[in-house]
Amino acid sequence: MAQKIKKLMPRVVFVRLASLYQRMEDAYNVVAGEIGLSCRDCPDNCCNSFFRHHTRVEWAYFWQGLNECSMDLRRKIIDKANDYVHKINSSKTQGNDPLFMCPVNFDGRCVLYGHRLMICRLHGVPSAHTTPRGQILNFPGCFRCRERTESMDSPPRVDRTGFYHELARLEQSYVGPKIVKMSKVNLTLAEMIVQGPPLTGSGRKEEHAAGLRV
């Protein structure tokens, strides 16, 4: 029998998400330390990588952080997000790989670092994920990481599997039973900003996340 999905208060889910994020960072730091990997003075910037995100709970948590910004900064981020989406759409029609700076990156730094999403926290070091069918997917890490690990027979890596499973449980707790009838999330961060906070199963914006102060 399938386990019943129970919806929890957003503030409870967000506390658990923040704890999960911290464990992701701890795992990342351990592997980065063993490799000797640092982002300092890197000629590249991961914030121009093309990432898509897949959970409403992360989307809402990010919006919580966005609403903690000053009105001026929030407006600048939203304007940059609109510009990003326009550029991405134009790039797709021309068949180019989209490589544009994330709208929350200002002067090379993330201004919502504490609310950044999962992939932003795990990208860079080698990692692996075991799918429900038992297939192991490996991620080699960023170019600087690959340079440091190319001579290693078995470089250390972060196992993403448990993190993915826990994030999926938090997504269910955040959305509740109606998640089974809702469409999948497959959005860039810029699209999450432009669209506003995620919809609940009733079709309403999550007021706790956005404050509807867009």
Q: Quick check: is 203 in a domain?
A: no
Q: Quick check: is 74 in a domain?
A: yes
Tell me if 117 sits within 8 A of 189, measured CB to CB: yes
Q: Quick check: is 82 in a domain?
A: yes
Q: Given pLDDT bands bounded at 50, 70 and 90, which one contains residue 211?
A: very low
Tell me the percentage of the chain whose pLDDT exceeds 70.
88
Mean pLDDT of the chain: 88
Domain hosting residue 187, numbered range: 10-195
Nearest to 127 by CA among 137, 135, 117: 137
Domains in the chain: how many in total?
1
Q: Quick check: is 208 in a domain?
A: no
Interatomic CA distance for residues 14 and 170, integer angstroms = 9
The pLDDT of residue 115 is above 90: yes
Q: Given pLDDT bands bounded at 50, 70 and 90, which one contains residue 93?
A: low
Q: Quick check: is 205 in a domain?
A: no
Q: Quick check: is 153 in a domain?
A: yes
Helix, strand, coil shares of the chain, percent, nearest 5, are 50, 10, 40
Interatomic CA distance for residues 38 and 46, integer angstroms = 13
Interatomic CA distance for residues 190 and 117, integer angstroms = 12
Q: Quick check: is 204 in a domain?
A: no
Q: Given pLDDT bands bounded at 50, 70 and 90, which one contains residue 203?
A: very low
E strand or H helix at 181: none
User: What are the contacts of 75-83 at 24+ separation with CB within 8 A?
Assistant: 76/106, 77/103, 77/104, 77/111, 77/112, 77/193, 78/103, 78/193, 78/194, 78/214, 80/104, 80/190, 81/189, 81/190, 81/191, 81/193, 81/194, 82/190, 82/194
Q: Given pLDDT bands bounded at 50, 70 and 90, which one contains residue 64?
A: very high
pLDDT tens for each residue of 125-172: 999 999 999 999 999 998 899 999 998 988 999 999 999 999 999 999
Q: Quick check: is 117 in a domain?
A: yes
Q: Given pLDDT bands bounded at 50, 70 and 90, which one contains residue 214?
A: very low
